[in-house]
Amino acid sequence: MPVVTPKIRGFICTTSHPAGCAANVKAQIEYVKSQPALENPAKKVLVIGSSTGYGLASRIVPAFGGGASTIGVFFEKPGSETRPGSAGWYNSIAFEEEAAKAGLYAKSFNGDAFSHDMKAKVIETIKEDLGQVDMVVYSLASPRRTDPDSGETFSSVLKPIGENYTNKTLNTDKAEVAEVSIDPANEDEIAHTVKVMGGEDWKYWIDALSEAGVLADGFKTVAYSYIGPEMTWPIYTNGTIGTAKKDLDATVEALNGTFGDNTAVVSVNKALVTQASSAIPVVPLYISLLYKVMKEKGNHEGCIEQIQRLYATHFGTGTATTDEVGRVRIDDWEMDPEIQAIVDGLWNEVNTDNLRELSDFDGYQDEFLRLFGFGIEGVDYDAEVATDVAVPSIG
Ligand code: NAD
C-alpha cells in the first residue's frame, strides 16, 4: 500500500488521499445533520456529476437532510494497488458507506454521462429499484463531450468573445499575480463550448427519463450556473462559458414548456474552489479576494452550505431569492454590493508582494488541497493507505 502525498501540476493535483476524501465527505454530512431537516424533501434523487464540488453536495443534502434515496453518475478514475484514483472516486466510496450506515439507498455509475448507454443503464436501475425519481440535479463540468449520435468529440474553451481580454490572474503554483491576455474565441469554439457545457445533454437526460416513464409527477430539475462581478464578465459571463450558461436558460424554458412551470430551474451559485473553477483564468484571484472579504464579514459558504441553502429555501420553503429571468440566486451573498465594492478595491491593489495580506490565498490553497483529501486534521498522511478500493455499488 502506498503513502499518498500531493502532486500538483499547474491547476490540478494528480493524486488524492482516500482517508482525507472520506473525512471531507463525513464533515459535509455532519454539517447537513446539524441543520434543520429539509421541508418537502425530494425522496428519490438522481445527481449527474455527483462525485465532487456542487454535485457531491447535491447528493449529500437530500440524503442526509431529507432521507432521500440517491443515484449518482460521475466520471472518475479508480485507484490501483500502487497508485491513487481520483478524489471523486474516494468521495463516492465514503458517501455510499455513510449512506449504508444510515440505511439510505445509494447506487453509483462511473462513466460518460453524455452517452446513450449511461442514460439507459441509469433508467434500468431506476425502474428496478426506485420506480421513479422526483428530482434530477445536473452538475456536470467537463472539458469535452462526444456527441452520442454523430460520435464527434467537442472541446470547450475558456475565452472572451469579440475582443482580446487582459487582466490580472493568479499563478497558483508560484503565488504570483501576473497579467493574462486571452484572444477571443472563433465561432467554432463558441459553438463547441455550448455543445459541451450548454443545456443539450441536460434536456437529453430529462427527455430520456420522461420517455421511459421514470419521472414522478411534479418532479423538479436543476442545473448550475455562475455570473460573478463585471471584471470577470469578459472571460466568464460574456465569454464562451457564459454563452453555454445562457443556453441553460433556454433549456429551462423548453423543459418548462413541456413539463410545466417551475419544473426546471437554473441556480446561480457562488464562486468556489473546485476542480472545475481552478482551471479558469482570473477567477482564482477573484476567489482568493472574495474569500477574504466574506470570511471577515462572517458569511462565507462552501459547496455544502450553498446547496443546503438551495434545498432548504428554494425547494423547501420557497423563500430563495430569484431574478428577473427566474433563476435562483444563491450567489446573493457573494453579489451583495457592499462585498463587491470591497473586492473591487482590493482587486486594483493586489500584486505578488501583497497577495497574502490582501487576499485569502492561504485559504484558497488549503481548500484546493482539501479537494484531493490533503491537509485535513486527524488524517495520518505518513501512514500507508489502501488505494485500490471499490465504490460498493460498482464493485
Ligand atoms: P467539479 O469539477 O467539482 O464536478 C464535476 C462533476 O462532473 C464530477 O462529478 C465529475 O465526475 C463529473 N463529470 C465530468 N465529466 C463527466 C462525464 N463525461 N460523465 C459523467 N460525469 C462527468 O465541478 P463543479 O465546480 O462542482 O461544477 C458543477 C457545476 O456547477 C458546473 O455546471 C459549474 O459550471 C457550476 N458552478 C460552479 C461554480 C464554481 O465556482 N465552482 C460556481 C457556480 C456554478
Residue 374 domain flag:
no
Residue 65 confidence (pLDDT): 98
Cα of 138 from ligand 1 centre, angstroms: 9
> Does 224 sit in the ligand 1 pocket, CB within 6 Å?
yes
The enclosing domain of 315 has a CATH number of 3.40.50.720
Residue 373 domain flag:
no
Specify whether the CB–CB gap between 42 and 20 falls below 8 A. no
Specify whether the CB–CB gap between 145 and 195 falls below 8 A. yes
Q: How many domains does the chain have?
A: 1
> Does 73 sit in the ligand 1 pocket, CB within 6 Å?
yes
Q: Residue 137 CB: number of other CB atoms within 10 A?
A: 29
Amino acid at 166: T
Q: Residue 23 CB: number of other CB atoms within 10 A?
A: 18
> Does 207 sit in the ligand 1 pocket, CB within 6 Å?
no
Q: Are β-strands 44-48 and 133-138 bridged in parallel, bridged antiparallel, or unpaired? A: parallel
Instruction: Tell the residue nearest (CA) to atom 3 of ligand 1.
Output: 53
Backbone angles phi, psi at 157, to 5 degrees: -125, 155
Residue 220 domain flag:
yes
Q: Which residues contact 290 (CB under 8 A, 6 or more apart)?
A: 271, 334, 339, 343
Residue 124 confidence (pLDDT): 98
Residue 380 domain flag:
no
Buried b or exposed e, range 93-107, using 16+ CB within 10 angstroms = bbbbbbbeeeebbbb
Cα of 152 from ligand 1 centre, angstroms: 22
Give the C-alpha separation, 155 to 189, whole Å.
Answer: 8
Specify whether the CB–CB gap between 201 and 145 falls below 8 A. yes
pLDDT interval class at 269 (50, 70, 90): very high
Residue 156 confidence (pLDDT): 96
The 10s digit of each residue's pLDDT in 71-127 is 999 999 999 999 999 999 999 999 999 999 999 999 999 999 999 999 999 999 999
Coil, strand or helix at 92 = helix
Specify whether the CB–CB gap between 22 and 90 falls below 8 A. yes
Q: Which of 181, 270, 297 is nearest to 234 (CA)?
A: 181
Specify whether the CB–CB gap between 175 and 352 falls below 8 A. yes
Q: Is 291 a catalytic residue?
A: no
Cα of 90 from ligand 1 centre, angstroms: 16
Give the C-alpha separation, 240 to 245, whole Å.
Answer: 9
The 10s digit of each residue's pLDDT in 16-48 is 999 999 999 999 999 999 999 999 999 999 999
Beta bridge partners of 329: 268
The 10s digit of each residue's pLDDT in 343-384 is 999 999 999 999 999 999 999 999 999 999 999 999 999 999
Residue 314 confidence (pLDDT): 95
Give the C-alpha separation, 307 to 160, whole Å.
Answer: 29
Cα of 49 from ligand 1 centre, angstroms: 6
Q: Dihedral (C-alpha) 346, 292, 7, 197: value to the nearest 10 degrees?
A: -80
CA atoms within 13 A on the CB side of 248: 30
> Does 242 sit in the ligand 1 pocket, CB within 6 Å?
no
Backbone angles phi, psi at 163, to 5 degrees: -145, 165
The 10s digit of each residue's pLDDT in 315-333 is 999 999 999 999 999 999 9
C-alpha cell at 312: 432548504
Instruction: Tell the residue nearest (CA) to atom 5 of ligand 1.
Output: 141
Specify whether the CB–CB gap between 151 and 215 falls below 8 A. no
The whole model's pTM is what? 0.97
Tracing cell 472518475 back to the chain, one arrives at: 76
The 10s digit of each residue's pLDDT in 130-166 is 999 999 999 999 999 999 999 999 999 999 999 999 9
pLDDT at 281 over 90: no
Residue 165 domain flag:
no
Beta bridge partners of 137: 47, 222
Residue 97 domain flag:
yes
Residue 223 domain flag:
yes
Backbone angles phi, psi at 152, to 5 degrees: -75, 140
Look up the domain containing 65 and give its range: 8-159+188-280+300-332
Specify whether the CB–CB gap between 383 and 1 falls below 8 A. no
Residue 385 domain flag:
no
